[in-house]
Structure 1
Amino acid sequence: MRVEPVTPVLLVERLVARIVAAGPGRTRVLLDGAPPAGPGRLAAALTDPLRALGRPVVTVHAADFLRPASLRLEYGRHDPDSYYDGWLDAAGLVREVLAPLGPDGSGRYLPTLWDAVADRATRAAYRDAPTGTVLLLDGDLLLGRGLPAELAVHLDVSPTVLARRLDADAAWTLDAYRRYAAEVAPRRTADVAVRYDDPEHPALILD
């Protein structure tokens, strides 16, 4: 594996350049990473630089598009296979966010769909995104699902670091991440892969 060490600031600059290079229309960006990688924090870091370039930014969290508990937990609360392929409402995410915020979409999207804690629909109102909007969709296990996007970024955390940094009550998900690495190979699947064991010292994965 060849890597190019970069600073957090340079990583943001490189990603902003890739996003802008996708063109002036609406641009969908997947920020994929396990919870310890904090893909949502990277989304926040990208927001101001993109807006400074005149690009409206919409941030959506995949965690707001989970399936109802009756479906997610059909095989129990700690089933890693269900977590891997049964928790995310990928169809709802495409229908309500990724399709309308595509280059030829209507621009009318739903910011949230399901409140997993309350286990009910959020009843959020639809919003309109102008042409040129950048969608930053953050979450984990996003790749390999056919989610349409102009740029996919994977924050890669080694198995050892992941096991150490995951909350103890989420340790049961480790098998899902092992399966993800084996079946999807996100480092190769993503357009941009970043070694992210230490967010203060990231490195671009070149092959």
Structure 2
Amino acid sequence: METKPEHLGRAAALPWLGSRIRQRAGRTMVAIDGVDGAGKTTFADELAAELTDAGLSVIRISFDDFLNPPTIRHRQGRNSPEGFVADTYDYERFIDDVLDPLGPEGCGRYRAKSYDPATESPLSPPWQVAPDQAVVIVDGMFLHRNRLRNARGRKIWDLSVWLEVPFEVSVHRLAQRDGTPDDPNDQRIARYVEGQKLYIAMIHPADRADLVIDNF
């Protein structure tokens, strides 16, 4: 039975995670989940830097480097929120190249990327070998989906985080970063906003996480 998540502000979150990660032996799998614009990459990088400074080996993975090609991402239609949740990521490749080899019984031989979003091109980078003692930090959307749970229905992450950010804030951040519409109700971004709302309503990631962070 999964326990009730801890709920902390950003300032207390890094020490909380660091203390629990340092207690663990072997490879530790950490997920940083949240909506687009929640600050996942920034927070994951900060956690990685703090752990590295503490002398731990850290492997950083971004789920955005495991996208499906456009023919799959848009097979339910370019405006489909359901398609955005179901078809954005290549879960099979992510499981084969990251989760299985870096898991507790894995061989440690992994690939950090399978796709280049900038060029919309598949990748086959060289295999890397992880040390037996390492922290694997993955940032990305939809990391609490049932497809990333084990055969017993339990999440595969040793620790997982949900970054709590209102859509008004996350969409504004994306507008500043990417020049996208600055209104969550704008129909030009409805596929993405409504898809993420669908994920939250179906999965309740804040309930599945070990730590919920107010990141706004």
| TM-score relative to the length of structure 1 | 0.85
Contact 1:71 1:86 in 2 (8 A): yes
Structure 1: which 5+ residue stretches go unaligned?
199-207
1: distance between equivalents of 2:30 and 2:40? 11
Change over 3 Å in CA distance of 1:93–1:5 after alignment to 2:
closer
2: distance between equivalents of 1:3 and 1:47? 20
Change over 3 Å in CA distance of 1:24–1:4 after alignment to 2:
closer
Shift of 1:83: 0.8
Name the aligned partner's letter for residue 133 of structure 2.
G
Please name the residue that 1:157 is paired with: 165
**Counterparts in 2 of 1:1-207, with a 5 A limit?**
6-8=9-11, 10-21=12-23, 23-147=24-148, 148-166=156-174, 167-168=180-181, 170-196=189-215, 198=216
Shift of 1:29: 0.6
Name the aligned partner's letter for residue 29 of structure 1.
V
1:66-103 deviation digits (Å, cap 9, x = unpaired): 11221111133332111111111111111100111112
**Quick check: 126-135 or 168-177, which moved more?**
168-177
SS at 2:161's partner residue? strand
1:164-189 deviation digits (Å, cap 9, x = unpaired): 44432644311111111211111101
2: distance between equivalents of 1:64 and 1:32? 15
2: distance between equivalents of 1:72 and 1:91? 14
Shift of 1:163: 4.4
**Quick check: 103-112 or 162-171, which moved more?**
162-171
Shift of 1:37: 1.2
Change over 3 Å in CA distance of 1:190–1:84 after alignment to 2:
same
Contact 2:73 2:83 in 1 (8 A): yes
Shift of 1:48: 2.2
Task: Report the identity percentage.
Answer: 29
Name the aligned partner's letter for residue 190 of structure 1.
A
Structure 2: which 5+ residue stretches go unaligned?
149-155, 175-179, 182-187
Contact 2:7 2:212 in 1 (8 A): no
Contact 2:33 2:140 in 1 (8 A): yes
2: distance between equivalents of 1:97 and 1:123? 13
* Aligned pairs, number: 194
Over 6 Å off, 4+ runs: none
SS at 1:70's partner residue? helix
1:90-131 deviation digits (Å, cap 9, x = unpaired): 111111001111122111100100123323212211111101
2: distance between equivalents of 1:139 and 1:7? 18
